[in-house]
Every structure is written in C-alpha cells, then in structure tokens.
C-alpha cells in the first residue's frame, strides 16, 4: 500500500494514498468540523464547514474531498480557516431557531458544538427568521424544517444505502427543504431510522424518543442487537435503569454504521414484563421463595435423590455463549443427555441494498450459531408442542434455559422427576417448574453471542438486575461444579468464556479480553442451515 507523508497542524502524518484531509486529520486526533460528510455516504462538499488551509492553494479547501499529497502542509486551525468557518456558521444561524431548550438533539448537536467552539458571540441578523411547521415523514421520523442545515445526509442515505428514492430536496436556493416524494411517507422501508442517526442537528427526530430524555442524562453501553442473527453492534442508551433508545455502533465487519428498524425498536421487553426476582422451590420441604443458598441446596438434594436419572434440556438461542456452555457442562455432569433449542424465524430476510452484508436475518435469535457450535440440536417450530414432545413426556430431569414455552400445551412438570427452569420473565414454563431460578438478561450482564457468520462478539452490562437475579453462567456453573464437572465456579463472564474454550475447540484460542468491541471469528466452521 502506497503511503503519503504530510504535515497537519505541525504534526507529521502518514496515511494511505487517496485518503482525504478530513480522515487524515482523525489519525492525530483532530476533528475537522463538518456536516454533509459521513464516512458511509458520498461527499458532496456542500456544507463548507470542513474548509482548511492548504499551503500553496489559492483558497481554503474542503477537507472532505481534498485528498492528501506528498509533502502537503495543512492547517485546520489557522485564522484564515477559522474565519471562513465562522462565516459559514453565521449563515446557518440566519434562520435557525433557538430550539436548544426543547430540541432532542441538544447536547449532541454539531451546530450547537461548532457555534460554541468558534462561532460569533452575537448574531447580526435583524430580519424575521423563516419558519417551517413540523412535518411527519411517516414511520418513526418527524422533520423540523427550520432546524435543517441542508446537509442532505438523509437523502443520500435513502438513495445510496437503502436505495429508496422517496426522500428528496424540493424547491431551490433559500427555499430548499427536505420532503418525501409525492406525499409518500417512509412507511414500508426497513432502515429509515438511520436518517435520524446521521442528521447532525435536530431536524430529524425519532417519535419513539421524542422528549423522553436529555442526551447528557443518558449512559451509553456497547452491546449487541438480539433481534436477529446478524449481530449488529449497538449502544444501549439508558437512564433510571431503563433502556431509553438503541443506536447502532460502528463495526465495519458486521453492520458498518447502520441497523434495521425492527431491531432499533425491539427493546421494551427489557424494561417491562413480569420479571422473576427470587428462586422458588415447589413441592417438598423447603418450599416457596427462598435465598440462593437454600434453593441450590434443595435442588442438589433432589438431584441426588433421583440417582442417575436421564437428563433432557431445552436451551434458548437468546442466551449467551457462556450460559449455553455452562448448561452443557451441567448436563454432562449429570451423566449426559440431549440439549434442544428452538429459533423463531421471520418470513423473509430484509437486505440493506447499498450495504449487502447487512441483512435483517430470517433467523430472529442472536445466538443460534453459538448453540450449534456447542452441539445443541434445533427442533422445528411447527407441529405439536413445537418439536418438544419428547421433552414434555420425559420422566427424568428436565432443564429449561430461557425458553418460555409459551406455545406448549403440555405441563413439563407433570411427568418429570425434576423440572428446573432458568429464565428472566414469568411464563408458563416457570409456572409448572419444580425449581425456578431467576437469571439476568443480556442488558443486565456481560457475555458473548456468536452471529450468523461465526463472529463472537461481546456485550456489556447496562442495567442493574432486578431482585436476586444472577447470570445464568454463574448459577449453572456452580451447579456443574458441585456435581463434579471438574471446573471451578466462574467468578466473571471472562472466566466462564475461558471454561467454554477449554471444553469446545471452536472457542479455543479466543481471548475474552481480546475480542474487544469488534469480535473475532470462531475457529471451526458450522453450517447455518436455512439461514
């Protein structure tokens, strides 16, 4: 790769040939102000905010389209560059309303940031500002035209990435405005929420997030979308121990800067619902809700009394690799047995046409690949009892991890000698269990998922767990250790992942810490039939 050497703000920079000045400046920590530029879109160089001084050039150059040359000297903070940017900002403020106190983008707005950093102290305008009414674009998007800086990021995303041309610029000059084509709204598109993400000001806002929280009150936690097997990298934005919204997180290997609308809005189940908060033991003595110590002792006593009963387990592909690995270790410690799982499916896949590797997958669970890699068997979602007839009729030990069994007519506890349920929410599966153990959701703990291509990706804890809920890998790992698995009780998700690597060759050689925020591919290839 041919490298180019130049100087930016007095610092030596070496970048590949063809790199723009704006991107080259990022390598030394310099952020050149910009509106219309986005790394995932074309660069029209129309906002003029990224003007920089290039030695030898007759005028300031737009950093978003000017490529570096050997020996070039660039000044992003010279008085000439700042003077031009101040002039551009003044024009943007001519008609911009003072909406900061009520705007959802306040605290995240680039116009707000740039004016505070280097704009004029006072405006010189005397004429009345242009006023637009609020426009409903359909779907989840509202448009405030008087806040728009006409960067056209939204139009370019829809036409270039989603490849749907219903969003456009109408009128000309100072009357230009973004609008939908022939009154056709954004309903029916599957990725339009991304135009809210790319808007650098508060012109495009989400109906779902409207006036819900201020940006500076939100805590951002890196996580993984659980709405399909694509494994989009996301951030959970939380406040008051609730998820307020989901935003995509950049990972060029998986989802770039984008995510689908289905995954974006599929989070309310995390905040609400009838959560399991305490271990419960039914039948025999002791009985009822109790502490973890008492519940696990009672469970181990019942396992011992059954003396070598056969085991069948049902896992959920919404569980982490660590939870599934600990379940496998427990089943092996009990003498071995089958582990089944079910995975819900959509009718069709939905690709992002301009970024074909990003697809709303047909498989609607985040860790089906992980379950397969761990040797678990998928059963169909059609037919009597969703393919779990044999489990419902089992008279030994049944362990269910995460599957609510909402469509099961049979009572799993009717025939079993011992039926144990580990889950996050109250369900029919929990109602008929002899032992109910509350576990955390992915938003309340750490761990990994394996996406459709075999990429193992980490998620982090964003919320406090309710009541006495604990990570599944901790509870299952403690039980497996007591029953002679040979593994120590894991004290962290990292230790649980290490134990997984010791048992399953596909995960061997992967380091939990080295996975970072981008993940790594498992060592063995496992087919994803029907994905």
- Euclidean distance between CA atoms 162 and 202, whole angstroms: 22
- Euclidean distance between CA atoms 185 and 384, whole angstroms: 42
Q: What is the topology classification, in CATH, of domain 127-271? A: Alpha-Beta Plaits (3.30.70)
Q: What is the pLDDT of residue 529?
A: 37
Can you give the pLDDT of all 531 residues of the chain as single tens digits?
Answer: 899 999 999 999 999 999 999 999 999 999 999 999 999 999 999 999 999 999 999 999 999 999 999 999 999 999 999 999 999 999 999 989 989 999 999 999 999 999 999 998 888 888 888 888 899 999 999 999 999 999 999 999 999 999 999 999 998 888 889 999 877 899 989 999 999 999 999 999 999 999 999 999 999 999 999 999 999 999 999 999 999 999 999 999 999 999 999 999 999 999 988 999 999 999 877 789 999 999 999 999 999 998 878 999 999 999 999 999 999 999 999 998 889 999 989 999 999 999 999 999 999 999 999 999 999 999 875 434 457 878 888 889 999 999 877 766 457 778 889 999 999 999 888 988 999 999 999 999 999 999 999 999 999 999 999 999 999 999 999 999 999 878 899 999 999 999 999 989 999 989 999 999 999 999 754 433 333
Which stretch of DSSP H or E encloses residue 194?
Answer: helix 194-198
Domain boundaries, the chain: 3-92, 127-271, 280-521
- Euclidean distance between CA atoms 141 and 195, whole angstroms: 8
The CATH number fitting domain 3-92, selected from 3.30.560.10, 3.10.20.740, 1.20.1260.10, 3.90.1200.10? 3.10.20.740
CA separation, residue 307 to residues 176, 243, 327, 334 (Å): 78, 45, 19, 10
DSSP structure class, residue 177? E
Q: How far is CA 296 from the centre of its chain?
A: 34
Q: What is the DSSP string of 346-384?
A: -SS-EE-TTSTT-EE-SB--S-HHHHHHTT-EE--SSSG
Q: What is the topology classification, in CATH, of domain 280-521? A: Rossmann fold (3.40.50)
Residue positions counted in the chain: 531
| CB neighbourhood size of 241 (10 A) | 13
Q: Is-cis flag, bond preceding 286, omega within 30? A: yes
For 419, half-sphere exposure in the C-beta direction (CA atoms, 13 angstrom radius) is: 21
């Amino acid at each position: 790769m041919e490298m180019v050497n130049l100087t930016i703000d007095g610092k030596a920079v070496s970048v590949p040939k063809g790199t723009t000045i704006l991107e080259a400046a990022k390598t030394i920590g310099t952020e050149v102000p910009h509106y219309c530029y986005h790394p995932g879109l074309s660069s029209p160089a129309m906002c003029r905010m990224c003007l920089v001084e290039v030695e030898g050039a007759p005028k300031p150059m737009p950093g978003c389209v000017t490529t570096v040359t050997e020996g070039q000297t660039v000044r992003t903070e010279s008085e000439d560059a700042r003077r031009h940017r101040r002039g551009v900002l003044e024009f943007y403020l001519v008609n911009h309303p003072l909406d900061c106190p009520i705007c959802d983008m306040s605290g995240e707005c680039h116009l707000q940031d740039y004016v505070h950093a280097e704009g004029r102290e006072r405006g010189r305008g005397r004429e009345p500002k242009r006023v637009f009414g609020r426009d409903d674009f359909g779907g989840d998007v509202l448009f405030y035209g008087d806040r728009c800086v006409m960067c056209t990021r939204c139009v370019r995303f829809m036409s270039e990435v989603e490849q749907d041309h219903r969003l456009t610029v109408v009128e000309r000059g100072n009357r230009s405005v973004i609008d939908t084509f022939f009154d056709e709204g954004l309903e029916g598109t599957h990725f339009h929420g991304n135009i809210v993400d790319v808007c650098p000001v508060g012109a495009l806002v989400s109906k779902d997030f409207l006036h819900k929280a201020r940006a500076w009150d939100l805590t951002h936690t890196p996580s993984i979308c659980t709405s399909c097997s694509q494994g989009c990298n996301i951030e959970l934005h939380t406040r008051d121990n609730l998820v307020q919204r989901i935003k995509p997180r950049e990972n060029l290997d998986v989802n770039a800067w984008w995510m689908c609308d289905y995954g974006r809005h599929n989070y309310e189940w995390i905040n609400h619902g009838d959560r399991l908060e305490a271990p419960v033991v039914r039948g025999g003595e002791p009985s009822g809700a109790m502490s973890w110590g008492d519940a696990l002792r009672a469970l181990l006593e019942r396992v011992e009394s059954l003396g070598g009963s056969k085991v069948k387990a049902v896992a959920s592909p919404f569980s982490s690799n660590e939870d599934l690995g600990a379940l496998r270790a427990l089943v092996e410690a009990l003498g071995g047995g089958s582990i089944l799982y079910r995975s819900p499916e959509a009718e069709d896949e939905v690709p992002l046409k301009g970024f074909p590797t990003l697809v709303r997958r047909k498989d609607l669970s985040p860790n089906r690949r992980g379950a397969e890699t761990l040797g678990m068997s998928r059963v169909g979602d059609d037919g009597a009892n969703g393919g779990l007839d044999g489990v419902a009729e089992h008279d030994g030990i049944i362990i269910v991890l995460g599957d609510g069994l909402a469509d099961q007519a049979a009572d799993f506890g009717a025939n079993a000698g011992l039926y144990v349920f580990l889950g996050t929410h109250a369900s029919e599966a929990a109602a008929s269990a002899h032992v109910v153990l509350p576990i955390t959701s992915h938003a309340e703990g750490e761990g990994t998922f394996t996406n459709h291509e075999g990429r193992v990706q980490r998620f982090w804890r964003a919320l406090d767990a309710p009541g006495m809920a604990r990570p599944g890998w901790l509870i299952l790992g403690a039980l497996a250790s007591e029953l002679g698995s040979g593994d120590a009780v894991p004290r962290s998700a990292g230790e649980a992942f290490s134990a997984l690597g010791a048992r399953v060759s596909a995960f061997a050689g992967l380091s939990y810490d080295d996975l970072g925020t981008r993940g790594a591919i498992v060592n063995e290839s496992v087919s994803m039939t029907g994905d």
